[in-house]
Structure 1
């Protein structure tokens, strides 16, 4: 079974359909292909409800062979739908919030994984702190998943937001521990040399000139260097293909492309996208 991973959709349902058609034409047995999304299924693009409906239907019909990670925009929708976070003017969530099956959509979304490990590939939405191994990443992701799937999920979302703590410590407990895990897996881009996460600089693929900030995956002694990490979230970085790293956010909603990679042979499939939103970097 061939495995394909697709970058950030952000509500670009039409382009997602085109790319799925490309995958069907590429796969030897398309009905058996595994198709995984790295998160941010919705928001900013024009068809957030259609994207979410289709992904839910595909996942349920395939018994999980087609699935998606949770990204920061997906978590934002959960918080807005739960009434613990206000929608911003740049959101395109109104159709989802008004959908008759909102509860079912939210129920499906909050049960999505925070990380996956597939054929020696570790999939996350944003990044992995240098202190975490692949096994620890999966275990910590599981801690957040358990809370999101519990009756206490709304209380968790109410406390989830914030930039502190900005560096992982195995001794972290409670909401600080969970918040740090969420920020790493769904928000991280640049880090300081000691592993502290920076959340201020979003518009570039590197830190300001003269600073010590660097992409999380370039930090020395990163414990996930022994596996291939696949991620999205960073449209300013674009497609990244290294021996142990695959970046897939090619800026679909900003007028770039929607990208899929076949993990079996590293081949890329892409579709062009209109500029639905001017790129500010703050997404």
Structure 2
């Protein structure tokens, strides 16, 4: 069995299929882990959802911010942004089944038998690994429960940006969602900063990449997406940045875990300007 990990697909299904063909992925024996944001912006979000569901237990994803936003739009909590190209999903006859499957996906996964973790954005520097596992489980319980729509409504907003200020269940939930799906930079006090998407070389000097101020990463491997401007470049050998901006005209990246071989598929179409 081989384990493969892939970055943000965002509806770029043809590139994903080309990568799986390159790697000779066999769903009956291999496993595909997805770092979130499987939908939005690209041309085939509906088909991507259906394809991943068809893989059964061979496909294991974590939720990204675009995936969560789709859940909120489908629930009528938010309006769809035309640039996200969600209309096909929202009008699909199997919408309920698609949304139900997506809502069951966690915020954090661990590769079996090893200290390797996958989340869309990363690990909050204010959490230990144990904290992250606990908070991910708590948030997933809310998103899979009968009050899912309530929690989807509560997840929006930047406050609190500091875990130490998260006193209520709602504040802890919102911080958890933001840390796992939106985080790129932190301030000196380790609070989350949401405005900057630039590379570290071009970022303001008073904010820092989450992985540079995190003291809990030395003994684990961490796989993440979300940060397209990194283009897969992370200065730590145990961190794997897999979002390489396929939907922006760059490429989709697939990592075969056991030998760390990368497979690259150039974007077939420049989707977003």
What is the TM-score normalised by the length of structure 2?
0.94
Aligned pair 1:41/2:34, yes or no? no
CA distance 1:34–1:210, change in 2 (3 Å) = closer
Residue number among 43, 51, 56 corresponding to 1:54 in the alignment = 51
Equivalent residue, structure 1, for 2:209: 215
Q: How many residues align?
A: 270
Equivalent residue, structure 1, for 2:148: 153
Residue number among 21, 28, 32 corresponding to 1:31 in the alignment = 28
Q: Report deviation, 1:206.
A: 2.1
Aligned pair 1:178/2:173, yes or no? yes
Q: Secondary structure at the match of 1:67?
A: strand
Equivalent residue, structure 2, for 1:225: 218
Aligned pair 1:76/2:61, yes or no? no
Residue number among 184, 196, 217 corresponding to 1:189 in the alignment = 184
Deviation digits for residues 68-95 of structure 1, max 9, x if unmatched?
1100000000000000011113111000
Q: Secondary structure at the match of 2:50?
A: helix
How many angstroms apart in 2 are the aligned matches of 1:274 and 1:187? Answer: 27
Q: Report deviation, 1:30.
A: 6.0
CA distance 1:14–1:188, change in 2 (3 Å) = same
Equivalent residue, structure 1, for 2:157: 162
Structure 1 stretches of at least 4 aligned residues deviating more than 4 Å after TM superposition: 207-210
How many angstroms apart in 1 are the aligned matches of 2:201 and 2:70? Answer: 29
Q: Report deviation, 1:133.
A: 2.1
What are structure 1's unaligned runs of at least 5 residues? none
Q: Secondary structure at the match of 1:31?
A: coil
What are structure 2's unaligned runs of at least 5 residues? none
Deviation digits for residues 194-214 of structure 1, max 9, x if unmatched?
111111112x11275652211
CA contact (8 A) 2:188 2:206 kept: yes
Equivalent residue, structure 2, for 1:4: 4
Equivalent residue, structure 2, for 1:103: 96
How many angstroms apart in 2 are the aligned matches of 1:209 and 1:108? Answer: 37
Equivalent residue, structure 1, for 2:118: 123
How many angstroms apart in 1 are the aligned matches of 2:167 and 2:224? Answer: 25
CA distance 1:231–1:105, change in 2 (3 Å) = same
CA distance 1:209–1:272, change in 2 (3 Å) = closer
Aligned pair 1:113/2:106, yes or no? yes
TM-align CA RMSD: 1.7
- Any residues of structure 2 matched to 1:12-23 within 5 Å, and which? 12-23=12-23
